Amino acid sequence: MQMPFCWDKRSPAHAPADNHVAINGTVVVSCHLGLSSPGKTTTLRLFSTTQMDPNTGKGKLSPEAPLRSGKKTKAKQGAVKTTTMTYQVTFFVDADFGTPGAVVVKSGLRNDHFFLRHVQVHMPEAGRTIHFECNSWVYPFKKTNADRVFFINTSYLPDKTPEALRLLRDEELRSLRGSGRGELKDWERVYDYDLYNDLGNPDKEEHARPVLGGITSVYPYPRRCRTGRPLFKTDGATETRKHMINLDFYIPPDERFSPTKLAEVLTLAVQAVTHFVLPESKALFHGNINSFRSLEQLKGDLYRKPVVDGQVVMDKLKTSVPSHKTYKQVSKMVKETPVKFPIPQVIQNEPEAWRSDEEFAREMLAGLNPVVIKRLEVFPPVSRGGKQSSITAAHIERQGQLEGRTVHKALDEKRLYILDHHDYLMPYLRRINTQEQGVCVYASRTLLFLKDDGTLKPLVIELSLPSDGAGADGEISRVFLPASPGTTDGHLWWLAKAHVSVNDSGYHQLISHCRLFTHATVEPFIIATKRQLSAMHPIHKLLEPHFKDNMQINTLARSILLSAGGILERTMFPGKYAMEMSSAIYSEWRFTEQSLPNDLVKRGMASSSNKDHLHLHVEDYPYAVDGMDVWRAIDGWVRSYCAHFYHSDAAVAADAELQAWWHDVRTVGHGDRQRDRACWLDLDTVANLVESLSTLIWIASALHAAVNFGQYGYAGFMPNRPTRCRRFVPLPGSPEMAQLEADPDRFFLDTVPDRFTTTLGLTLIEVLSNHTSDELYLGQRATASWTDDGEVLQLLDRFRDDLRRVEKRVTERNKDLRLKNRKGPAKVPYTLLFPDVGNVGAKEKGITGKGIPNSVSI
């Protein structure tokens, strides 16, 4: 490891010639957690932005200048500790060199790489300091055979780029696209597309999985970033990882976790694995590896037991940690971390409220998956094939369930709603139930009524299975109605609700959150942005914070969560059909429907006479109410930002880089959805650009926050959100019905996930629900120097002010006792869309249940 060096501090390397001037600058490098520092042969050069070199077609290039006078600085902002080295540099340039527009860095290190934060050069005659925001890894020239180029923090549309920088701008983009061939090394910065072909192992029949994606594929899917790494053996179509958990994979260097975040994520992983080891070891010791014996035992084993030594897990992890200093940091953090699962919010204040129908329904509006419920527009519900539901008017008009209304009157008044997990599941049920050992799953429909007090009341649950007859489309359905607890019908209703929660949990993890609608949707936009939009492009600068860490998270997910036999297959009911089912749902995905206003209208939860006015049919819908406040703030920020750079629709249409970016997204990154014209807006007006960018930022920030950071709060108590069932609902007169009536709690625990699955699932959602210390929240930027445009910085300040007003309104709503869905019977306030813009330097981190990070960062 290179040590910080220090040269003669008394003077620059040499004095300027008579026709030269000296330009002084500073270079800041991160050096905490074992990072390398630049070597003595690392040099910098400047490109002029105003003076051309006729021989190269680029700006004039200064002679090489070495670094000197390294000074270490330690800083702490909130929970974030950083250590940097600041070096001095002096460039000697011709008197007519002009204004620098790019800096070239050449690393003379043999093997190590360093993280360059920024470079500043001081122009006393012009009365300004020029800033080059870098935040990038610099590898040795002997490996890259190319210098690194960083541009000034001024934004330029392509046709406004100074002539001296145009060729450099084009060359940088071409290098980032790569050749599309060969193995990619750690130091290569290449952004290319690939299929989801690394999830299975064709050499093991039980781990064979279809390749997802491809224009002619029967399994459409978004593209991922190409790895091109010999970590895999291949059958020509499928890449297979040598190990299930593998931290040694290629992603472009600038997409990797910071050393601080890597240490924290590894600490969370050790903590989660230790949590898993403790309950499982106790279960083995007591000879009980299947079910919890009681709900009290479940709570005691998971949340109340003493800690266990996490160092055992650290010893296993040692070979996977990138550096010894990172390992020591993780080990220190593990020792400071209590090794037991925290008590989930849903049982903190009212331990039994999760059982109630009111809480069951409220979580459809304010829980961890509030994006599925729809307004019922046709009764009875009808499948896509035209088959009517077995639910009748008599089921829901009984005993004043509709407060004196008929079904049709309730429909007309927009009072009936449905949680529909039927059509997309029916084609998979036979395979899931016959090939997935120990899994018993239905397709479900849950109808709800909007009461006068603004809350939802469950009316009926329909559970369906494919019939055994010759008809491929036949199905057998059972209908369950609310009933008093303690009765046989009450026990059956409880089990029916559990099966609905299983459906919703699977949809949430595979579609709403972990893969399709957030993580997987965003990655093609990242690749296209790096390939087609220069770092100087204003839209690149707008989007950059919303891409942070997404690609590394996705790569880890493919290795650990989504792979054949991975955590999701082991804990979620679809099992090995999970990604295939996700692909089927993606076949109908439309980007134009992902904005919050359009999504609410599509689901019938709102109506709109124009884009500026949206009427919610459930007025106390916390996700939608808070979400629309956040959406308006995002839309206002994006609208003002785009108007600053694009003064006409023609300017948008004429932006060659922007059009290439949109073409890349539509025809390659999301190429499997290019034939659906309704999937995309044409990027030919400022208005369409604003809506598309606002939608992308909404997905990466607020939508992800809404479906991610409440996971532990609600699903951390498994009985509230089971992920699979092991028994069907018993039939009248069966032995299973007698067991249910004799001990309903034990029957319930024998139905929902076993100890192993429960504990494994908790280890996952505990990690996913955490905010790390380097989190940047909506409205925040890593530095104030990301742009030199004062007007843009004022617009960003206005955006932060809008978000602070959103925070105030969220807080006020949570105090309003008339809004019963804000807290519900469990008394969990809805804060998932509280922006937390003032949480600078992660003053609050961990499982907070609030805060909207800029990006899909975990």
Beta-ladder partners of 72: 85
Q: Do 282 and 305 contact (CB within 8 A), yes or no? A: yes
Q: Do 129 and 25 contact (CB within 8 A), yes or no? A: no
Q: Do 3 and 91 contact (CB within 8 A), yes or no? A: no
pTM confidence score: 0.92
The C-alpha angle with vertex 454 and arms to 452 and 457, in degrees rounded to 5, equals 85
What count of residues does the chain have? Answer: 858
* pLDDT at position 246: 54
State both tokens at 728: 């069907």
Q: Containing H/E element for 449?
A: strand 443-450
Q: Where are the alpha helices (DSSP H) in 521-621?
A: 521-532, 538-543, 550-556, 567-571, 578-586, 596-602
* Residue whose entry in the numeric block shows the structure tokens 């899917």: 221
Does the active-site annotation cover 821?
no
> Beta strands of 54-179 (E only): which ranges?
58-61, 65-77, 80-94, 100-106, 114-123, 128-138, 148-151
Least confident of 103-117, 373-387, 653-667: 103-117
Q: Containing H/E element for 296?
A: helix 295-299
854: pLDDT strictly greater than 70: yes
* pLDDT at position 558: 86
* pLDDT at position 240: 46
Does the active-site annotation cover 152?
no
Give dist(CA 476, CA 478) in Å, integer.
7
The residue from 519, 537, 546, 771 that is catalytic is 519
Q: At what angle do helices 357-366 and 488-507 cross, to 10 degrees?
A: 10
Least confident of 170-179, 317-326, 402-411, 828-837: 317-326
Average pLDDT across the chain, whole number:
88
Q: Give which of 234, 323, 229, 782 is closest to 555, Cα–Cα.
A: 229
Q: Looking at residues 310-335, what average pLDDT do you find? A: 53
Q: Do 518 and 856 contact (CB within 8 A), yes or no? A: yes
Bond before 753 cis per omega within 30 degrees: no
Phi/psi at 150 (5° precision): -125, 135
pLDDT single digits (tens) 339-387: 568 899 999 999 999 999 999 999 999 999 999 999 999 999 999 888 9
**185-189, Cβ contacts within 8 angstroms, sequence gap of 24 or more:** 185/143, 185/250, 186/139, 186/250, 186/253, 187/113, 187/137, 187/139, 187/140, 187/143, 187/144, 187/253, 188/144, 188/252, 189/252, 189/253, 189/254
Least confident of 411-425, 780-794, 843-857: 843-857
Beta-ladder partners of 464: 443, 477
Q: Do 535 and 787 contact (CB within 8 A), yes or no? A: no
* pLDDT at position 764: 84
Name the pLDDT band for 231 (thresholds 50, 70, 90): very low
* pLDDT at position 336: 56
* pLDDT at position 272: 58
The residue from 513, 537, 546, 771 that is catalytic is 513
Task: Give the chain's radius of gyration (CA, Å).
Answer: 29
* pLDDT at position 525: 98
Beta-ladder partners of 121: 25, 130
> Beta strands of 333-422 (E only): which ranges?
374-375, 416-421
pLDDT single digits (tens) 794-833: 999 999 999 999 999 999 999 999 999 999 999 999 999 9
* pLDDT at position 364: 98
Q: Do 144 and 252 contact (CB within 8 A), yes or no? A: no
Percent of the chain with pLDDT over 90: 66
- Report the DSSP pairing between strands 475-480 and 239-241: unpaired
Q: How far apart are the first and last CA of the chain?
A: 30
Q: At what angle do helices 735-742 and 744-751 cross, to 10 degrees?
A: 120
Q: Give which of 850, 846, 848 is closest to 833, Cα–Cα.
A: 850
Q: Do 112 and 38 contact (CB within 8 A), yes or no? A: no
Does the active-site annotation cover 519?
yes
Q: Looking at residues 66-84, what average pLDDT do you find? A: 79
* pLDDT at position 614: 93
* pLDDT at position 182: 83
Does the active-site annotation cover 858?
yes
The residue from 32, 131, 499, 704 that is catalytic is 704
Dihedral sign (CA 509, 512, 517, 519): negative
The residue from 708, 821, 839, 854 that is catalytic is 708
Burial label, 803 (beta-carbon count in 10 A; 0-12, 13-18, 19+): buried
Query: Who wins on pLDDT, 607 or 77?
Result: 607
* pLDDT at position 216: 78
Percent of the chain with pLDDT over 70: 86
Give dist(CA 598, CA 608) in Å, integer.
9
pLDDT single digits (tens) 692-708: 999 999 999 999 999 99
Give dist(CA 827, CA 359) in Å, integer.
10
Q: Do 234 and 240 contact (CB within 8 A), yes or no? A: yes
b/e sequence 806-835, b meaning 16+ C-beta within 10 Å? bbeebeebbeeeebbbbbbbbebbbbbbbb
Task: Specify the DSSP class assigned to residue 747.
Answer: H
Give dist(CA 448, CA 364) in Å, integer.
10
